[in-house]
Chains A and B, each alone.
Chain A
């Protein structure tokens, strides 16, 4: 039951260029989407989120775009830096109640080449 999918296991980009990480979902009840970054042997670190009522959210070099009709979101990193090299997880939450558990995608390994 893969409600959140990241179809690209890896991505390599040159320093200074744009990195685009993609995520698809199937559950139309998700109301928030979040991106986390993870280094080996560390916990996921929150990057940016977007509400399902918006189509774009920007924070510095990071922008998340949401296309609800296509059930697709993407994370843009501009410009990419070598320190951005990590695994990026897309996660979704279905609102309400005392849970808001996160459902994660499988992750995309981003390698930014100097």
Chain B
């Protein structure tokens, strides 16, 4: 069964450094998302991406964040200058078509630790 994959599974970085989190969505999906979950809190929407552009972003997704689909398979989240409060699990998700249930399929996540 197709699944969303994410790399790395765990990333440790120093405050102020740039990180890139990578995702390979399900191959025929058209809608892509990033969510995060700070330890002990709920899963929060960051950004959605469709037709090679951001379709919506949350207040969390400030100028330090960017997303890209550099080729036909990868979807990346870049944090330009990491802060301590960026430490969280980051989940990538993808969805197939518009219409019907908006079921999103999630990857296993990347645990980001900012020291």
Interface residue ranges, A against B (CB under 8 Å): 32, 34, 36, 41-46, 49, 51, 89, 91, 93, 95, 97-107
**What are some 12 contacts across the A-B interface (CB < 8 A)?**
A34-B102, A41-B109, A49-B103, A93-B102, A99-B48, A101-B45, A102-B35, A102-B45, A102-B93, A102-B102, A102-B104, A104-B42
Name B69-108 residues within 8 Å CB distance of A: 91, 93, 95, 98, 101-108
* Shortest Cβ distance from B49 into A: residue: A98
Known A43-B93, A93-B102, A98-B48; 6 more pairs at CB < 8 Å: A42-B109, A43-B4, A43-B6, A101-B45, A101-B48, A101-B58
Interface residue ranges, B against A (CB under 8 Å): 4, 6, 31, 33, 35, 41-45, 48, 50-51, 55-56, 58, 91, 93, 95, 98, 101-109, 111
Do A99 and B56 touch across chains, with their CB atoms under 8 A apart? yes
Given A32, A41, A98, A101, which contacts B101 in the complex, CB threshold below 8 Å?
A32
* Shortest Cβ distance from B58 into A: residue: A101
By a CB distance below 8 angstroms, the chain A residues around B107 are 43
Do A44 and B91 touch across chains, with their CB atoms under 8 A apart? yes
Do A32 and B109 touch across chains, with their CB atoms under 8 A apart? no
By a CB distance below 8 angstroms, the chain A residues around B50 are 98-99
By a CB distance below 8 angstroms, the chain B residues around A32 are 101-102
* Shortest Cβ distance from B111 into A: residue: A41
Complex alpha-carbon distance, A105 and B49, angstroms: 23
Complex alpha-carbon distance, A49 and B109, angstroms: 22
Do A42 and B108 touch across chains, with their CB atoms under 8 A apart? yes
By a CB distance below 8 angstroms, the chain A residues around B4 are 43
* Shortest Cβ distance from B107 into A: residue: A43
Do B103 and A97 touch across chains, with their CB atoms under 8 A apart? no
By a CB distance below 8 angstroms, the chain B residues around A93 are 102
Complex alpha-carbon distance, A105 and B102, angstroms: 17
